[in-house]
């Protein structure tokens, strides 16, 4: 589980532990990962998803601790805002490195551990893969790229018994959303606008995404691979 210290990642980790899974929590926020690991009796691993040595070591630690690697959830992500005219090349590279290269690296080292045993990889993309917001070209590109990566990995590794699927969350109540709302001129007006986007009348919770991830990782989804599951309260079909 990457990006596991808070938000969607922490929600997925909690749900997997509830279901009886042994979980490794990987995050650049080592203190956050260790705190959650103490709560869940999980394995905390501090590192950067864009650094190959960190990723290789994390997979090795996970297998050494639990004896196998059956499920990988690529959740780590950041959103560096700015138009293509405003973004520096360094910020673009960092966005792609965390959101897309990180999923590639973890999958690269997880697949050999799953090959022959079977396994499930769940990539957390975003509705930004389908609908775009001003000022988010790097984020949108990274999330759309994750869907292409998901499809190709499903083709390449299906014969290995490895299923690869993606989840596209909409607005989810997380610390990242709170931080963004705190920076807008009128938090309450913005929140009303967001709620109006959703025919269900609410935004999502980490638990909503966790339930979808658990399903895709489980034997209940044994014939599902290369799929994209949108979990957004019908926001995108409402045209938002």
Taking only the tens place, the pLDDT of each residue in 99-120 is 999 999 999 999 999 999 999 9
Residue 75 pLDDT more than 90? yes
* Whole-number Å distance between alpha carbons of 209 and 204: 8
pLDDT band at 166 (very low <50, low <70, confident <90, very high): very high
Q: Spell out the CATH class of 7-173+206-231.
A: alpha beta
How much is the pLDDT for 239? Answer: 86
Q: Which helix (H) or strand (E) holds 143?
A: helix 137-157
Quick: pLDDT tens for 118-128: 999 999 999 99
pLDDT of residue 240: 81
Helix (H, G, I), strand (E, B) or coil at 228: strand
Residue with tokens 């690991």, as numbered in its chain: 37
Q: How many degrees, rounded to 5, is the angle at CA 93 between CA 88 and CA 99? A: 130
| 87's tokens | 């973004």
Token code pair at residue 192: 């009303």
Tell me how far CA of residue 223 lies from CA of 154, 156, 220, 226, in angstroms.
12, 16, 8, 10
Say yes or no to pLDDT of 139 above 80.
yes
For the residues of 23-74, what is the DSSP string, one character each? -EEEES-HHHHHHHHHHHT-EEEE--TT-HHHHHHHHHHHHHHHS---EEEE
pLDDT tens across 172-208, in order? Answer: 999 878 877 887 789 899 899 999 999 999 999 999 9
Nearest to 156 by CA among 208, 81, 82, 104: 104
86-106 burial: b if 16+ Cβ within 10 Å, else e: ebeeeebebbbbbbbbbbbbb
Residue 1 has pLDDT above 90, yes or no: yes
Cβ-based neighbours of 179, under 8 Å, separated by 6 or more: none
Residue 168: predicted pLDDT? 98
Give the pLDDT score at 133.
81
pLDDT score at 185: 86
DSSP structural state of residue 171: S
Q: What is the CA radius of gyration of the chain?
A: 17
Q: What is the pTM of this model?
A: 0.96
Kindly report, residue by residue over 28-71, the tens digit of the pLDDT. Answer: 999 999 999 999 999 999 999 999 999 999 999 999 999 999 99
Active site members: 139
Tell me the average pLDDT of the chain: 96
């Amino acid at each position: 589980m990457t990006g596991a210290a808070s938000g969607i990642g922490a929600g997925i980790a909690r749900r997997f532990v509830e279901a009886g899974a042994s979980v490794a929590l990987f995050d650049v926020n080592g203190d956050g990962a260790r705190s959650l690991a103490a709560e869940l009796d999980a394995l905390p691993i501090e590192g950067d998803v864009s650094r190959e040595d960190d990723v290789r070591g994390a997979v090795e630690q996970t297998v050494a601790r639990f004896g196998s690697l059956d499920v990988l959830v690529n959740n780590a992500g950041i959103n560096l805002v700015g138009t293509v005219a405003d973004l520096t090349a360094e910020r673009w590279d960092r966005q792609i490195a965390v959101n897309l290269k990180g999923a590639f690296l973890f999958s690269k080292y997880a697949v050999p551990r799953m090959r022959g045993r079977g396994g499930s990889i769940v990539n957390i993309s975003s509705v930004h893969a389908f609908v775009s917001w001003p000022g988010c070209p790097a984020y949108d590109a990274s999330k759309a790229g994750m869907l292409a990566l998901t499809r190709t990995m499903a083709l390449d590794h299906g014969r290995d018994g490895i299923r690869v699927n993606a989840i596209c969350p909409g607005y989810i109540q997380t610390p990242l959303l709170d931080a963004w709302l705190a920076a807008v001129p009128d938090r309450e007006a913005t929140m009303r606008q967001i709620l109006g986007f959703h025919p269900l009348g609410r935004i999502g919770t980490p638990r909503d995404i966790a339930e979808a991830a658990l399903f895709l990782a489980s034997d209940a989804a044994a014939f599902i691979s290369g799929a994209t599951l949108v979990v957004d309260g019908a926001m995108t079909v409402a045209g938002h």
